[in-house]
Amino acid sequence: MARPNPVQLIVKKRDGGALAPGQIRALIEGFMGGDIPDYQMSAWLMAAFLRGLDEGETVALTEAMLRSGKTLRLASVQAPKVDKHSTGGVGDKASLCLAPLVAACGVAVPMISGRGLGHTGGTLDKLEAIPGYQVRIDARRFERIVAEVGCSIIGQTQQLAPADRRVYALRDVTGTVESIPLIVASILSKKLATRLDGLVLDVKCGSGAFMKDLASARALARLLVRVGRGAGQRVAGLITDMRAPLGCTIGNALETAEAIEVLRGGGPQDVRELVLELGVLMLKLAGVHKRAGAARSQLSRALRSGAAAERFARMVAAHGGDCRVVDDVTRLPRARQRVPVPALRSGLVRSVDAFELGLVSVALGAGRVRADQPVDPAVGIVLAKKPGEHVARAEPLAWLHCRSVASARVQLGPARRAFEIGRRRSKPEPLVLDTIEE
């Protein structure tokens, strides 16, 4: 069959038409084969962003990006295999806790994660804060670690959905990230590339997320579930609040230390709660428990007994990392300077804006503005106050962990403005806004 002219595909989408599955396949094949240059693909992505894709087109795009690479079967892994994916947030260290925790409960977690982009953090950057941890390993070693340890967290390889890597890189620089069908195809093409028994999604909602309101988070969650299930994948998920940062830390080593606290049975209440809620769905999808109560009890026991922390140490060691960090988080990189962010008035913290603090953290060096930038593992923010807490005038709202006092000084204003202080406490919102069960 003759290849369609890329200009016709762009024009059809620009004018609001729906592309046939074969046309979407040709678009991705042409792009990956070098016949369709970046500028034409970018034009098509913008047309798709503005006009949307219907469900048939979203399925076709997911399948075409999935077929651009290989599928990992993980045949030597005997346990049921479940993964979790978050749509991205600020202070979200749940994956670091969940993979070893769920593995300690008898379910294998082969987790393919991403890096931080824009104001959001990334699991790979947090793991790389551990001296020696390698996130780029080949598929054979990945499978061996999952079989032996029960969990492994790595970066997307060249073989898994390579079209998504290239399309995502274009979306990132052309203002076309926040599109529900494009996000669905991006996430699912990666996740369907590993043969899983279940996939749990954490769709974030609020200022620190791509989906700012509940209606769009619900629309994203519903489409993810429908397209995932349509491809034969068992999918469940949560919509969770991302208006305030999760936990008390933002920044790579700081978040890894906090994740270790949770794995050792402590840590901030919101992180623990999110980890338990997602863990329950993972154990249920894996068929280990039918009832949430029983799943939650097993997960809580694994945190209290040290089994989850021990699993994390084994995973770190298998990836070449210094597993002594689990017993001694001071082995993680630490910033030279700590600068307080004092409150200008006393009152109650009504809200903490995750988006603004995410940007401050990036400006301190914890994140990247371009995909190829290095990050500083040591820098970031430690929140001294969370929503609902009282603050006195001049008391620190947060601490900036930074390379130099000068680099922190310019961030004091933006960091302070992220905290809304008032006389009355704002109504607390639940962490879990909605659940999408199997």
Q: What amino acid positions are annotated as catalytic residues?
A: 85, 164, 171, 186, 190
Site for ligand URA in 273-332 (CB under 6 A): none
The nearer residue to ligand URA, 190 or 385, going by C-beta atoms, is 190
Distance CA 288, CA 267 (A): 26
* HSE, side-chain direction, 13 A CA sphere, residue 8: 8
Residue 123 engages ligand URA in binding (rule: CB under 6 A)? no
Angle (deg, nearest 10), helices 180-191 and 214-230: 40
Q: CB of 31: closest distance to ligand URA in angstroms? A: 16
Question: What is the per-residue binding string for ligand URA in 365-394, x denoting contact by CB under 6 A?
Answer: ------------------------------
Beta bridge partners of 249: 382
Mark the segment that binds ligand URA (CB under 6 A) among 176-184, 255-263, 329-337, 399-407.
176-184
* DSSP letters for 35-63: SS-HHHHHHHHHHHHHH---HHHHHHHHH
Which is it for strands 419-422 and 347-352: parallel, antiparallel or unpaired? antiparallel
Closer of 186 and 411 to ligand URA (Cβ): 186
User: Any contact of residue 194 with ligand URA (CB under 6 A)?
Assistant: no
Between CA 114 and CA 368 the distance in angstroms is: 13
Size of the site for ligand URA (CB under 6 A): 9
Tokens for 140, please give them: 């054979």
> Distance between CA 346 and CA 386 in Å, rounded?
14
Amino acid at residue number 36: I
Give how far Cα 51 sits from Cα of 16, 176, 179, Å: 6, 12, 10
Instruction: Identify the residue among 64, 74, 105, 183 touching ligand URA (CB under 6 A).
Output: 183
Site track 76-105 with ligand URA (rule: CB under 6 A), x = hit: -----------xx-----------------
Distances (CA, A) of 405 to 233, 332, 359, 379, 400: 50, 21, 18, 12, 9
Residue nearest to ligand URA (CB): 186
Which of the stretches 51-59, 180-188, 226-234, 380-388 binds ligand URA when contact is defined by CB under 6 A?
Answer: 180-188
Nearest distance, CB of residue 351 and ligand URA, angstroms? 24
- When binding is defined by CB under 6 A, the residue of 62, 123, 176, 186 that contacts ligand URA is 186
Q: Which of 74, 154, 187, 263 binds ligand URA (CB under 6 A)?
A: 187
Q: In this structure, which amino acid lies at residue 148?
A: E
Q: Residues interacting with ligand URA, by CB under 6 A?
A: 87-88, 114, 168, 177, 182-183, 186-187
